[in-house]
Structure 1
Amino acid sequence: MLLTSTDLATQLETAEALHLEAQVQALRTLRPQLPARTLPVGGGIAALTDPAYGRKLNHVCAFGMGQEVTEADLLALEALYHPHGLAVEVDLCPHAHPTALRALAARGYRATSFSQTYACPLDANAAHLSPDLEVRPLHPDEAGAFVAASSEGFAAQPNPRPLELLEVLARCALLRADSTAFVALTGGEIAGTAAVARLDLEAGPVAFLYIASTRPDFRGRGVQAALLRARLAHARQQGQQLAVLTTRVGNASSRNAERAGFRLAYTRTTFVRRP
């Protein structure tokens, strides 16, 4: 049974920070004209990219992990984001140093949303794929199809992000040397897409599952469950012993993760201060 200690939470938050940093690095390759960068702050990492990309590529994670936070940290974040018309958005783990929450409250930050971090020990998982689906790593000549299918799936969700951002996120996944992209096919047609990154932490390599999308016409057929199991099997074969993913509270991704053997490690709160 997986128990969430502060050490495990630090490991998961470090994985999230490494993922965000890799996303920004890929964006710099994809859009070299953008002033995209990451900065260490308060034990975590702050990502600043194009304001048009919203909080997805403009937020702070792993804040206060293993380190005290001061008002100066928040003032630095406000000086970073506010001149670009961006709110400071801090994802706070409940295992962060107590000074983080106190500093956020003192500066008038408000809780606006929640996200869930799930973890799965890979020695406890076995792959059982649907006989109706073929799930495999993406072929090199399928990059365009991956981007189109990923964007189509996310665009059909409630309150979708802008299409340009969806395409950028898919292309970033394909540019990352640490990531393997997967497709689920039925009848030779792409039904869903996803990726998994190998993130090397001091405690050992972690599999970070992300950008899972199902095209609207193929929903309700177990596409995401199959993509989850295939990526877990891939990570296990690569010698990784722990997998992590994040979801919005109560959505289908949460249910699929729990069915695949993931357990909720903790719920993070997003604190916001607008310009």
Structure 2
Amino acid sequence: MVKVPVVTKELSERLEQSEIDYMTSRVLAIKEREGNPMGVEVRKFGRATAFYVKEMPWGTFNTVKGIASNDIDNVDEIIQFYRERNRSFQFEIIPSKANADLLGYLSDKGFRQNGFHTTLYGVPNGNLAQFSHGVTIRELKEDEFELYGKLHCLGTGLNLNGASYVADNNRVLYDRPGWRFFIGFVEEHPAGVAVMHISNDVASLTFAATVPEFRRRGLQTAFLQKRIHEAELANCELVVGQASYASTSQNNMERAGLRIGYTRATWVEEK
């Protein structure tokens, strides 16, 4: 039986760091596109990392990760960084780094908590992936990112008009160290995509989506099993994933053997 480490402060910070690592790699790759067309900036403030993407106004790409209680002196500078860019943003705070002083200071500055997000972790177990009938998975080929963009949009509910942008912003990761892309089929029909990033012996399950008409056929479970197995082959020590609290994605990860590391809090400015 594989021994899964218990949650400690040190482990929780390693889980968080894996998310910071893959997010940093992702947005810097986008920034390195000729002329930085998406307007990417990444800035360090103490232990915190601030991400800003001008052409992607969503919270995921305009967020502060890694902030700790001893970063209170940096909060005003972080707020100013985003205000100079006229951008709403969010703080992501894990339990082991929060205290009453930090949370109270954010509240005094007009921020409030508006949600939770779950981080799960496990140890690769070496078991071969066993997929449901009719489900197959293989690695995405370099010339298939237009198809990736389409499946990504269909699986997440985005307008297909954005598929080429999704393709371009992921194509830049293909040859970047640590990134792996997978495409899934149901009865030989392209049905979904999944992504994994490996850094410092940790495999992050960064993204997965299934086209609605092919859901409930076992593809998400297959994506999890495939990436966990690939993490084992890469000699990773941990597998880490994120999901909305008590969501189907979290349920699938727990069924695949991952356990909850923490739920992080999301704080946004009151409007």
TM-score, normalization: structure 1? Answer: 0.87
Give the conservation status (yes or no) of the 8 Å contact 2:43–2:49.
yes
AA partner of residue 225 (structure 2): R
Q: Aligned-pair distance for 1:249?
A: 1.6
What residue in structure 2 maps to residue 271 of structure 1? 267
Give the conservation status (yes or no) of the 8 Å contact 2:39–2:55.
no
Q: Which moved more, 1:96-105 or 1:8-17?
A: 96-105
Mapping 1:53-68, distance limit 5 Å: 53-64=57-68, 68=70
Cα distance, 1:189–1:17 mapped onto 2, change above 3 Å: same
Measured in 2, the distance between the counterparts of 1:265 and 1:162 equals 37
Measured in 2, the distance between the counterparts of 1:134 and 1:18 equals 29
Q: Aligned-pair distance for 1:59?
A: 0.4
What residue in structure 1 maps to residue 178 of structure 2? 178
Q: Aligned-pair distance for 1:21?
A: 0.7
Mapping 1:246-265, distance limit 5 Å: 246-265=242-261
Q: Aligned-pair distance for 1:136?
A: 1.4
Mapping 1:95-244, distance limit 5 Å: 95-98=96-99, 99-123=101-125, 126-155=128-157, 163=162, 166-167=166-167, 170-171=170-171, 173-174=173-174, 176-200=176-200, 205-244=201-240
Q: Which runs of 5+ in 1 are unaligned?
A: none
Instruction: Tell me the percent identity.
Output: 23
Measured in 2, the distance between the counterparts of 1:2 and 1:39 equals 32
Q: Aligned-pair distance for 1:95?
A: 0.5
Measured in 2, the distance between the counterparts of 1:53 and 1:73 equals 23
Q: Which moved more, 1:162-171 or 1:35-44?
A: 162-171
Cα distance, 1:9–1:249 mapped onto 2, change above 3 Å: same
Q: Deviations over 1:226-259 (max 9, x none)?
A: 0110011011101102010111122211111111
Q: Which moved more, 1:44-53 or 1:246-255?
A: 44-53
Mapping 1:40-59, distance limit 5 Å: 40-50=44-54, 52-59=56-63
Mapping 1:3-42, distance limit 5 Å: 3-30=6-33, 32-42=36-46
Measured in 1, the distance between the counterparts of 2:155 and 2:125 equals 31
- For the residue of structure 1 that corresponds to 2:216, the secondary structure is coil
Q: Which runs of 5+ in 2 are unaligned?
A: none
Cα distance, 1:238–1:162 mapped onto 2, change above 3 Å: same
Q: Aligned-pair distance for 1:145?
A: 1.1
- For the residue of structure 1 that corresponds to 2:230, the secondary structure is helix
TM-score, normalization: structure 2? Answer: 0.89
CA RMSD of aligned residues (A): 2.4
Q: Deviations over 1:67-118 (max 9, x none)?
A: 6122x31111111112322223100000005243243233232001111001
Measured in 2, the distance between the counterparts of 1:134 and 1:183 equals 9
What residue in structure 1 maps to residue 89 of structure 2? 88
Q: Aligned-pair distance for 1:224?
A: 0.6
Measured in 2, the distance between the counterparts of 1:263 and 1:8 equals 13
AA partner of residue 199 (structure 1): S
AA partner of residue 117 (structure 1): T
